[in-house]
């Protein structure tokens, strides 16, 4: 069996540090929602949403092997590229409307994320929203690499070798605004933070994590590893 790049096995989102992106995502989605997940991999987020938050989940996934695994969990799966006319037509042809459309670490893989957002927006219910996670190319670790003259792609992370677009907090906001979406809530994931500093503070019960949250919140544009947005169509959008 070939390896699925974004596979998560025995993945318990409920046990994650609450500041991590996946933990924030499921909180933003909430309970009893009809969700469309773009790029659902093998369904590890959908499984949690279905079993723990009583959500009804549909998905789109490019990798056929991952899609087959997710099919056992989701109400419906479309296999293919979300940028293809065929997949978008299939979605629109179903006549479904969704309370939440989840795009977690997806838009940076697309040639035209704005066009996809505009098409997906038509699939939202009257009070529907997007939950979107994007990696931050202006993270301190990337700035440090650039200062040293390095910009090397990796198998995963901010410089994932399949990323076609890069976003900062500012340009992510501009993309959402251009798509006619209004930010209702946003937050960030500082991942493992500044390694030794993070490790030291986390040893101090309660006070340490609170201080880390305060410290990293001083400059999310610098310390944010990922940004998480809850956005809905603007009234005039």
Instruction: Give the model confidence (pLDDT) of 200-222 as tens digits.
Output: 998 998 899 899 999 999 999 99
Q: How far apart, in whole angstroms, are the C-alpha atoms of residue 211 and residue 27?
A: 22
Query: What is the tens place of the pLDDT at every residue in 66-109?
Result: 999 999 999 999 999 999 999 989 998 888 899 999 999 999 99
Identify the three-state secondary structure at position 18. Answer: coil
Listing DSSP states for 59-128 in one string gives: EEES-HHHHHHHHTTSSEEEES-TTSHHHHHHHHHHT--EEEEEEES-GGG-S-HHHHHHHHHTTEEEEE
Residues 118-153: b if buried by 16+ CB within 10 A, e if exposed: ebbbebbeeebbbbbbbbbbbbbbbeeeeeeeeeee
Model confidence pLDDT, tens digit, residues 143-200: 999 999 999 999 889 999 999 999 999 999 999 999 999 999 999 999 989 989 998 9
Q: Looking at residue 206, what is its pLDDT?
A: 86
CATH of domain 13-233: 3.40.50.150
Helical (H) or strand (E) element with 67: helix 64-71
């Amino acid at each position: 069996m070939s390896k699925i790049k974004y596979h998560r096995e025995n993945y318990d989102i409920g046990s994650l540090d609450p500041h991590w992106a996946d933990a924030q995502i499921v909180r933003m989605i909430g309970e009893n929602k009809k969700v469309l997940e773009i790029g659902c991999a093998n369904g590890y987020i959908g499984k949690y949403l279905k079993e723990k938050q009583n959500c009804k989940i549909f998905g789109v996934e490019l990798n056929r092997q991952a899609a087959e695994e997710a099919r056992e969990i989701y109400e419906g799966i479309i296999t293919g590229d979300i940028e293809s006319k065929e997949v978008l037509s299939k979605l629109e042809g179903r006549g479904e409307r969704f309370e939440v459309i989840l795009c977690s670490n997806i838009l940076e893989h697309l040639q035209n994320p704005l066009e996809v957002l505009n098409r997906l927006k038509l699939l939202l219910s009257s009070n529907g929203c997007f939950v979107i996670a994007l990696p931050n190319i202006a993270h301190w670790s990337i700035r440090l690499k650039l200062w040293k003259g390095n910009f090397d792609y990796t198998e995963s992370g901010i410089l994932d070798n399949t990323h076609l677009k890069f976003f900062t907090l500012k340009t992510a906001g501009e993309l959402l605004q251009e798509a006619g979406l209004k930010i209702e809530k946003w937050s960030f994931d500082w991942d493992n933070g500044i390694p030794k500093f993070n490790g030291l503070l986390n040893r101090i019960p309660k006070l340490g994590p609170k201080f880390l949250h305060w410290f990293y919140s001083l400059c999310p544009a610098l310390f944010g590893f990922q940004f998480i947005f809850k956005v809905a169509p603007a009234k005039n959008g």
